[in-house]
A and B are shown apart, each in its own frame.
Chain A
Amino acid sequence: MKHRFGYCSIAVFVVGLAVPVAGHTRDLYEDARMAMVEEIEADVRQTSLALDKEALDPRVMDAMASVPRHRLVPDELLDVAYENRPLPIGHGQTISQPYIVAIMTDLLNITPASRVLEVGTGSGYQAAILAELAEQVYTIEIIEPLGMLARDNLEKLGYDNIEVRIGDGYHGWQEHAPFDAIVVTAAASHIPPPLIGQLKAGGRMIIPVGSRFMVQQLVLVAKDTEGNVTTRQILPVRFVPLTGSH
């Protein structure tokens, strides 16, 4: 249901205008969400060196401005839902910092025709962002109660282009392969080789690694048209261990 929230800033603007006029059902969290988007933009500018760009794809930022993050976090976290920080969502799992979600999504180069696989649904927030941009999102969660909750919440939000499966994501989702993009949010001791196999030539895979509550290092796996695989490691902080050339 990617159209519900619109792609572009015009739609956001229209919704923003229309709701106050109607005088009710205004998304109370919209201001917070917009502030979050601005914060992400500022963070991206500050870390442009590590990211190799000054700003993220406007479509990604629109998605960030659209998805109601507060509808995908536990009730006790409603107040902090739009803070630019990772949040604990129970079951020892976390919902990533919005800034990291935005960068990961941006790195995947998703088009409206993309088929995307996500391993580790968690709260469903990343899947919702992806669903704003892609044709279809397949997402797998191994922790049953989390997967059920995410499926339920995503349905309530009206996303009809997300399919949630409870199970082991190691072998990907063969019947829907290959994928234009894959997100692996569940940390593993290695990248599951079947996922590399299900990545389309020219496709990209992104994996956040490291502490869940800090800025995470991102591993971008790219498969070129000949099937050669390279990885790029990105630490999205404004910290250069060795400045200048050596």
Chain B
Amino acid sequence: MAATGTAARLPYVSVALVSAAALGYEILLMRLFSIIQWHHFAYMMISLALLGYGASGTFIALTRDTLLKCFNPAYWLNLVLFGLSAVACYLAAQQIPFNPEEVLWDWRQPVHLLTIYLLLSLPFFFAANAIVLALTRYRQKISLIYAADLLGAGLGSLGIVLLLFIVFPDVALKIIGAVGIVAALIAARELRMPRWPWQGMALAGTVLLLALPARWLEPQVSPYKGLSQTLRIAGTQIIDRRASPLGVLTLLESTATPLRHAPGLSLFASAPIPDQLALFTDADALTAINHNPQQLPLDYLEQLTSALPYYLAKPARVLILGTGGGAGVQQALNHDVPLIDAVELNPQLIDLVRDDYGAWSGQLYRRAGVRVHIADARGFIRRSDQHYDLIQISPLDAFGASSAGLYVLNESYLYTVEALQDYLARIAPGGYLSLSRWIKLPPRDTLKLFATAVRSLEASGSTSPGKQLVLIRGWQTSTLLVKNGEFTPGEISALRAFCKARAFDLAWYPGMPASEANRVNILEQATFFQAARALTRHDDTFTNRYKFDINPATDNRPYFFHFFKWNVLPEILSLRGQGGLPLLEAGYLVLVATLVQALVISVIFILLPLVALRRQHDTPADISRIRVVVFFFAVGLAFLFMEIAFMQKFILFLHHPLYAMATVLATFLIFAGLGSAWTTRWQQRGEPLSRHAGKVVAAIALIGIAYTFLLGPLFDSLMSLPLAFRVLISILLLAPLAFYMGMPFPLGLARVGACSPALVPWAWGINGCASVLSAVMATLLAIQFGFTVVILSAVLLYLLAAWTFP
């Protein structure tokens, strides 16, 4: 066993590799859990990774002396354990029958969730052990190791995104595990460890992982997701699969039982539904591809609420945002629309529908007048100079990709006040914006959309928005029309006839009497009409008294799907025993639960061991403990607040959550690393660190505050640039902020290390603890108050940190 220290090189390659693999693992877990369960669990992945890191800080603090004596094997072992546990812990977690929906009835479910949480934090614990050990062992070269760590992490965040374009997530998992063990192999060479057993075993481990049958690692999709449900039907089989970071696409055919996807079809419909192929994104978000080789009009599409605009006017230019399987395009073709622009986010989806199954759909996306664009809705609208007679968004049948996968924090820039203004700006005089949605009861999203439309119309200069709006509903779906102009009596009589023939209800049109509301699909109260009437009259009483938050979403607070009001919580909790919690949005529930879980666990695994340590080695400290606690807690919270707020903000600019995540994460990691390395110069020169800390915080505050005001207008003016330029501009904008943000932590640590080394593990632990909490807290804050408040909170926390600099 051999630490042949003198000949050994710095293990910076292995550090970079394990750091890259750990970050890749974190992002991959988000993808895998979006497929297996629902994307709400993405928050949990960020939090559990940070728990692993935090717990490792404490563990190393407690065992440092022992581990440093056998650094080489300890370092090697942790790398190997990371690689193996990355795969093994995922496999074990798959065996736990966690069903989030049963959480109310079954006491075992929270235990299952906790077990999964702890299991999956284990690989991060090993990865962090290796990195912290290396940082401790090579203290004199700490800046190099730290730079390798951050650079590796930055590359890892880019690498996993690229990898997911090439392979399925289950294969990516094997590769990440293998990279961990390859890091051990390289470490053995860097540290000049003997070939046997160190290099040989690592090589064997790598081969073993890569040889694992892919079948074992396949995500075990929840039996309650759409894909699993459809596959239960005899004669249904998967005929194609594609994967990219945007989601896993699964195409199904059913030879025995037709699939018949027709959301909200009229009760009076008699037209047959053609044979269909079902396309799922991440095992959910079904969109259908109709069998129509003869290119005939499909009459069943006339029996949906979304057909309404075609019965009020004859649009010549139509834009479908989120075209999916193409039902919206077919609807337009039914009405001989000469120009149809269809926008879709996921290129693989278009490949399937247009190319591979083109014959099935009668070359739907190649029909005369149909133009398909791969783009994000907001980006396309911003770049377009075309005016349309109809812009249609029907997420009933599409935009699955955008709501899945990496839209992890559930934000949606599709339905904000600013988004609707963008759409309205591209609608020709007399044209419509048509928005269809599934109806939730008690009514929520349809009402929020109506409120958003009213606010957008007002912001666009309308004096009587109520005259530009029409809302209809079936028992399952609603369609809202926003007109560029006021609705005419002719349109209103056509509207009445459309609804009467299809058993749809009128929920709002200008001048609608209350007696016409709630006639066919009867609710306890005519809530849709009451809400519409109040909203168009600027009567806030309804919105204030309604138990769901239906205030419009904005670009600063783009949580369209957030309806929760805290003052309703006691009432909802009292319904717990009766299964009344669907009234509480599940995502929010998971988020709050994750925060509580993170708090408890980080205290148990990070802080309590440190209390034990303090009892053992209680040495008088030269600096105030309170200052140390406050400083490191504030810095831990502030860093992730900034990172998460900007990741969200840049989705709007980069038009894609994926690009935003990769760009922002990589920029923050790499430039924070450089900033951190920079501080070593000040330390070496022996300059007073507190003065530097003050300057650094001032710079962060200045940039942070400036960005809250400047980014909006800047994005507006640069949004139509090509992607490469926008990525470059994003990096340039974020780099200085990230550079300065990398400094406070090492400055504080250097100061504590110099004055009171016994407090160093505390500093790590508290910082880790704050990090575990901050990812979830940042999202909760953003949902309640918007990104501006998150960024300003981060600035205040940094100022607090400067004030309490140890």
Contact = CB atoms under 8 A, between A and B. Distances in A.
B475 A189 contact: no
A232 B530 CA distance: 18
A89 B683 CA distance: 65
B105 A233 contact: no
A196 B224 contact: no
B764 to A, nearest CB: 41
A211 B229 CA distance: 13
Contact of B265 (A86, A190, A231): A190
B521 A238 contact: no
Given A92-B228, A213-B102, A142 B233 contact: yes
A189 B545 CA distance: 32
Contacts of A92: 223-224, 228-229, 232
Contacts of B257: 142, 168, 170
Interface residues of A, number: 51
B463 interface: no
B446 to A, nearest CB: 13
A241 B264 CA distance: 24
B355 interface: no
B442 A241 contact: yes
B261 A235 contact: no
A142 B234 contact: yes
Contacts of A229: 267-268, 503, 520
A237 B583 contact: yes
Contact of A235 (B258, B262, B267, B441): B441
A213 B256 CA distance: 29
Interface stretch (B24-32, B316-324, B571-579): B571-579
A81 to B, nearest CB: 13
Contacts of B260: 170, 188-189, 192
Contact of A212 (B224, B233, B262, B442): B224
Interface string A209-246: 11111110101010000000111111101111111101
B261 A144 contact: no
Contacts of A144: 234
Q: What band does the interface of chain B fall in when counting residues whose beta carbon is under 8 Å from A?
A: 35 or more
B311 interface: no
Given A142-B233, A219-B475, A229-B267, A242 B520 contact: no
Contact of B101 (A50, A91, A214): A214
Given A86-B105, A212-B224, A239-B572, A193 B270 contact: yes
B223 A242 contact: no
B541 A246 contact: yes
A143 interface: yes
Contacts of B581: 214
A189 B101 contact: no
A202 interface: no
A196 B267 contact: yes
A104 B571 CA distance: 25
B476 interface: yes
Given A142-B234, A235-B442, A237-B583, A242 B527 contact: yes
A190 B583 CA distance: 23
B102 A189 contact: no
Given A214-B101, A231-B267, A237-B580, A143 B232 contact: yes
B527 A143 contact: no
A217 B256 CA distance: 30
Interface in B522-546: 522-525, 527, 530, 534, 541-542, 545-546
B99 A190 contact: no
B176 to A, nearest CB: 30
20 contacts: A43-B578, A46-B578, A50-B524, A88-B99, A92-B228, A189-B260, A210-B582, A211-B101, A213-B104, A213-B224, A231-B475, A231-B520, A232-B521, A233-B441, A233-B523, A234-B524, A239-B547, A240-B547, A242-B525, A242-B545
Interface of A: 43, 46-47, 50, 83, 85-86, 88, 91-93, 97, 99, 142-144, 168, 170, 188-193, 196, 209-215, 217, 219, 221, 229-235, 237-244, 246
Top 6 nearest A-B pairs (CB, nearest first) are A92-B223, A190-B265, A213-B101, A241-B442, A214-B582, A215-B579
Given A92-B224, A168-B256, A233-B441, 13 more contacts: A92-B229, A142-B257, A188-B260, A191-B265, A213-B105, A230-B519, A230-B520, A230-B522, A231-B520, A232-B521, A232-B523, A233-B521, A241-B527
